[in-house]
Amino acid sequence: MKILVADDDLVSRRLMERVLQHSGYEVITADNGRQAVRELSEPGGPRLALIDWMMPELDGPEVCREVRSRSDCGYVYMLLLTSKESSEDIVKGLQAGADDYLTKPCRPAELKARLHTGRRILQLEDRLVEAREEMRFKATHDALTSLWDRGAILTLLRNELFRSIADSPVSLLLCDVDHFKKINDTHGHVAGDEVLGELSTRLLEAVRRGDAVGRYGGEEFLVVLSDCSVVQLKERAEQVRRAISCCPFSTEHYSIPMSVSVGAVSIENWDESITIESILKRADAALYEAKAAGRDQVVCAATLVAA
């Protein structure tokens, strides 16, 4: 684990570095407070820090304040190294953002014990962040396919439309799996779930990084294509269609030919007179035409343009 040792005294810094390296730490050093702040603010920088109270440019409490003020940085566990022993000084250091303090000269056993406490706290924070991100993912993603769920993909569509006000066209594809009920009836729901999972992967691979794919409901999927004009729409929609029908889907026990029907619509010069509901209604009507015309094809609706 990386640890920062910030001390303007070369001898103290080297002694501390030697003790920490012997304990398995990757040691990064700084000889002034401003350098310490830079090191702790770097992406992937140390999350443990030993900071001397008295340093040039910024003293230890000022370093703590600067680091704590930066919301874009991960949590750093900081120990102040000080010869000050009054309770007023200790309170001042802790109020500045230090997590703990050590009186110089430090005894190695006490140093290791306090750093071990810091590591436990950082591990707890990592688990809390991981749990928070997992909850956030579950709140916005479909459990079966791991795609955006209906609410999230519609929110993304709305956000993309607002972004498109600066003359950037948006298109969307409403895709429906052809004869999906027959797959469930013939091969079972487990195979059907496997097909939806593989189909989701193919959809993601068929679109660009900046596009969004969501499970709209059942076997329907919504693809939001940013910066995609009506001129590009047909080709982009065909890429998605071919990605599904190009080869059979392999489940644990079956090889199943698959296809999708696609209703496509492009929106230009959007304003709030064009509602999300009207866009989806237009895409759904185009999808119905694709189904009625024999499936496994794309139908592009007329472009929606604000009045």
Q: Does residue 142 lie within any of the structural domains?
A: no
Are residues 284 and 225 part of one domain?
yes
Q: Does residue 145 lie within any of the structural domains?
A: no
Are residues 155 and 291 part of one domain?
yes
Q: Does residue 38 lie within any of the structural domains?
A: yes
Low-confidence ranges of the chain (pLDDT < 70): 84-85, 166-167, 306-307
- Residue 222 in tokens: 């919504």
Are residues 186 and 159 part of one domain?
yes
Give how many domains the chain has, as a whole number: 2
Q: Does residue 50 lie within any of the structural domains?
A: yes
Are residues 157 and 87 part of one domain?
no
Are residues 300 and 218 part of one domain?
yes
Residue 91: CATH number of its domain: 3.40.50.2300
How confident is the model at residue 219, as a pLDDT? 95
pLDDT digits (tens, 9 = 90+) for 247-259: 998 877 788 999 9
Catalytic residue numbers read 219
Are residues 160 and 129 part of one domain?
no
Are residues 89 and 16 part of one domain?
yes
Q: Which of these three, 108, 137, 166, is where a domain ends?
A: 137
Are residues 132 and 154 part of one domain?
no
Q: Which of these three, 109, 137, 165, is where a domain ends?
A: 137
Look up the pTM and report it: 0.71
Helix spans in the chain (H): 10-22, 33-41, 60-69, 87-95, 108-140, 150-163, 180-187, 189-206, 230-245, 276-292
pLDDT digits (tens, 9 = 90+) for 95-140: 888 888 888 877 888 888 888 888 898 889 889 989 999 999 999 9
What does 153-166 look like in DSSP terms, one character per residue? Answer: HHHHHHHHHHHGGG
Spell out a b/e string for 279-295, using b for 16 or more CB atoms within 10 Å of the CB, else e: bbebbbebbebbbeeee
How confident is the model at residue 307, as a pLDDT? 59
Which residues form the domain of 13? 2-137
Are residues 133 and 154 part of one domain?
no
Q: Does residue 53 lie within any of the structural domains?
A: yes
